[in-house]
Amino acid sequence: MSGSNPLTVPECPTIPSLLKEVRTGNMRAISRAISLLETNGPERKALLEGVEPFSGHAPIIGITGYPGAGKSTVIDQLITAYRSQGKKVGVLAVDISSSLTGGAILGDRIRMQHHSLDERVYIRSMGTRGHRGGLSMATRDAIHVLDAAGYDVVLVETIGMGQEEGEIARIAQTVVDVVAPGLGDDVQAMKAGILEVAHIVVVNKADHAGAHETLQSLREWVPEVLLATATTGEGIPSLVEAITRHQQSLEVEAPISG
């Protein structure tokens, strides 16, 4: 061990030097910045003021859907697709924190593990820490950090508890809802909730029984519904195209509204 106990004196860079490192894409600095934002301490304001001017470039893609529908596996495939386009990819994966203890098992990245050695992919797991709405309090702040650090696209995975996940619609430009066949009829689709805000719905596990029926019933409610099998990558190119189309439609709209 080194002489000065590195544990009791953790690396504590000043905010300006931390921001400088974030802008160069230093992963340790990015991680520290996100942790500081998560603790919502006194540094938050200065950090946000430091990153926000450099933010606003990366498309933010929200991935939502029930637990087990395949959100993380879809993200794994999207990372591969965007990396093949040469893009730097940031991922924020939110899992639920225990309301009893505050503890959490953050396990989304298990499905994304063959990207953990790619220097142009940053994956961060976040606990909800008591925040409701499918994301954590600091998710929006963390997006600004990744955007300012030069990530070309940011993928945000919600906890996936279903109908109370509207917050992602206020944070992401494009919301993708991942559903699996056999989880309810079209009356479920009629209910208010995530399908209202989803721009694209992916019927994942297309190799399972009932996938085509689910596709048909959802087509009555959502403009863009696709079939995919995320474990094999089937249908992912169509999803990437649909996301791009949606992003382009926003670019066309933007000058009119603004």
Partner 1 sequence: MTTATTPIRVLIGKVGLDGHDRGVKLVARALRDSGVEVIYTGLHQTPEQVVNIAIQEDVNAIGLSIHSGAHTSLFPRVLELLKTHHAEDIAVFGGGIIPSDDVGPLMETGVRALFPPGTSMSRIVEFVKGLPR
| Binding-site ranges for partner 1 (CB under 8 A) | 1-2, 6-8, 10-11, 27-28, 31-32, 34-35, 38-41, 97-98, 101-107, 109-110, 113, 116-117, 122-125, 127, 129-130, 137
CB of 168: closest distance to partner 1 in angstroms?
A: 20
Between CA 74 and CA 96 the distance in angstroms is: 19
CB of 176: closest distance to partner 1 in angstroms?
A: 23
CB of 34: closest distance to partner 1 in angstroms?
A: 7
By beta-carbon proximity to partner 1, the closer residue of 109 and 199 is 109
- State the burial class of residue 43 (Cβ atoms within 10 Å of its Cβ: 0-12, 13-18, 19+): middle
Beta bridge partners of 60: 154
By beta-carbon proximity to partner 1, the closer residue of 145 and 242 is 145
| Cβ-contact 200, 242 below 8 angstroms | yes
Beta bridge partners of 125: 93
CB of 117: closest distance to partner 1 in angstroms?
A: 6
By beta-carbon proximity to partner 1, the closer residue of 104 and 240 is 104
Name the token pair of 144: 């600004």
By beta-carbon proximity to partner 1, the closer residue of 38 and 157 is 38
By beta-carbon proximity to partner 1, the closer residue of 107 and 184 is 107
Burial 56-86 (b: 16+ CB within 10 A, else e): eebbbbbbbbbeebbbbbbbbbbbbbbeeee
| Cβ-contact 19, 32 below 8 angstroms | no
CB of 153: closest distance to partner 1 in angstroms?
A: 17
